[in-house]
Amino acid sequence: MISNINPQSVKNKRVLLRVDLNLPMLDGNILSMARWHQVLPTINQMLSFEPKKLIIVSHFGQPKGFEARFSLTHIQRLIQQDVPSLKLIQKISDSSQDGVLFLLENVRFDEREKVSDQSLIDEYLSMVDLVVYDAFSVGHRKHGSVYGIMSQARQFLFGPSFIKEKSAIDDALARPGSRVAILSGSKISTKLPILKKMLVWADHILVGGGIANTLLHAKGLSLKKSLVDLNAIEDASHILKHADKIVLPVDGINQQMAVVDFENSNMGEEDSVLDIGPATCQLFAKYIDQAQTVLWNGPMGYYENENFQMGTQKIALAIAESSAYAIIGGGDSVAAVEDLNIEHQFDYISTSGGAFLHYIAYGSLPVLEAVKENRINLEEIVS
């Protein structure tokens, strides 16, 4: 897949550009402009092709109706110097006013967005000739400005960031040689699709976090007060049938930062396993060292608390030091790699979280399916 944004496809057109400006925010402050800097070259390139209108569309946070703190005015102020002609509009029909470059207010202020209401799709598509979809991270959502418009737009294209992310994942998954998946995180139920896919793709799956706790519980080991997904025991037992591929922790770190050994369980009734232990780190590092491709998602323990970061950091370093091709995705695991300043030692880092996992698990995204369902053939518009 290559992006076909070119002068012919854009010139004199009214273009809707769907991007992800969901910049990380804490206490009202934007923490990183990285997502904007990724989008800006695409905007500049498209402007150079002289569209009639270029309407930038994004969500921001999870507002319930209008909430001032989630207004794109906060972002507009920060990007004004890069795009001085940009005007913020409240609804897409406001783009008929003078001017070329517009930023539509947070699409999630409109309650029709999340249910992909037909009247909203009609509103969008009545104002534009071409939709350029460049927000991989929300491609798994069946929302109006994602699936909705892409399934009905008369002309559509995928943007360069979308294609870059898709290709990076495709290339990593297609690599030959030995493959290790490292899956961790809080709940097994949310990671089941990716676990199932990894059972096919990987030679070994190293498991940590609440997922490992739940698998150990299903194997009959009592982890006392640890995070266990009790609703997923049946699924966990099913996964354990493929035990030859699954590598479980052999020890952990409890709430008092003491090592607990799972073989001869020395756990107290009040114990909670909050990280993988040193023997597990060594065991996992051996597998990582022998792999040619490593795919990692999810911190190995309760990473938000600095007392329980060791396991995640040891795994991150083991991957960084190995010669394996390494791809990593998911908010929390990416944060761990950034904290250690070892980003450059990974071959691909995805900040797409849910969409990253969805695409790997299912080999597609609703936004890609939307295009297949669209009656207009892609070839017609790019040829």
For Mg ion, the binding residues (CB under 5 A) are: 331-332
The amino acid at residue 232 is: A
Output the residue with the shortest Cβ distance to ligand ADP: 185
Binder of ligand ADP out of 274, 328, 367, 368 (CB under 6 A): 274
The amino acid at residue 62 is: Q
Q: How far apart (Å, rounded) are the C-alpha atoms in residues 171 and 212?
A: 28
CB of 304 to Mg ion, least distance (A): 10
CB of 256 to ligand ADP, least distance (A): 14
Bridge partners of 88? 103
Binder of ligand ADP out of 293, 333, 350, 352 (CB under 6 A): 333
Does residue 186 touch ligand ADP according to CB under 6 A? yes
Contact track, ligand ADP, 9-38, x by CB under 6 A:
------------------------------
- Judged by beta carbon, residue 131 or residue 360, the one nearer Mg ion is 360
- Judged by beta carbon, residue 332 or residue 347, the one nearer Mg ion is 332
Bridge partners of 252? 260, 276
CB of 325 to ligand ADP, least distance (A): 20
- Residue 248 Ramachandran class (φ > 0 left, ψ -120 to 50 alpha, else beta): beta
Binder of ligand ADP out of 111, 122, 270, 304 (CB under 6 A): 304
CB of 295 to ligand ADP, least distance (A): 12
Token reading at 268? 């107290």
Residue 43: DSSP 8-state: H
- Judged by beta carbon, residue 144 or residue 298, the one nearer ligand ADP is 298
Binder of ligand ADP out of 210, 249, 277, 366 (CB under 6 A): 210
Token reading at 105? 């207010």
- Judged by beta carbon, residue 43 or residue 336, the one nearer Mg ion is 336
CB 258 within 8 A of CB 252: no
CB of 332 to Mg ion, least distance (A): 5
Q: How far apart (Å, rounded) are the C-alpha atoms in residues 326 and 346?
A: 5
CB of 211 to Mg ion, least distance (A): 13
Nearest to 157 by CA among 125, 138, 137, 130: 130
Task: Select the span of 32-40, 254-262, 331-339, 362-370 touching ligand ADP (CB under 6 A).
Answer: 331-339
Token reading at 283? 């065991």
Q: How far apart (Å, rounded) are the C-alpha atoms in residues 19 and 229?
A: 35
Q: How far apart (Å, rounded) are the C-alpha atoms in residues 23 and 36?
A: 8
Report what 293 binds from Mg ion, ligand ADP, none; CB cut-off 5-8 Å by kind. Answer: none
Does residue 277 touch ligand ADP according to CB under 6 A? no
Q: What angle do CA 199, 203, 205 make, to 5 degrees?
A: 60
- E-strand spans in the chain? 14-18, 25-26, 29-30, 53-57, 87-89, 101-104, 130-133, 156-158, 179-183, 204-207, 246-247, 251-254, 259-261, 273-276, 293-297, 325-329, 348-350
Does residue 331 touch ligand ADP according to CB under 6 A? yes
Say how far residue 8 (Cα) sits from the centre of its chain. Answer: 32
Report what 343 binds from ligand ADP, Mg ion, none; CB cut-off 5-8 Å by kind. Answer: none
How many residues line the site for ligand ADP (CB under 6 A)?
20
Binder of ligand ADP out of 16, 120, 202, 227 (CB under 6 A): 227
* Sites of contact with ligand ADP (CB under 6 A): 185-186, 209-210, 213, 227, 273-274, 297-299, 301-304, 330-333, 353
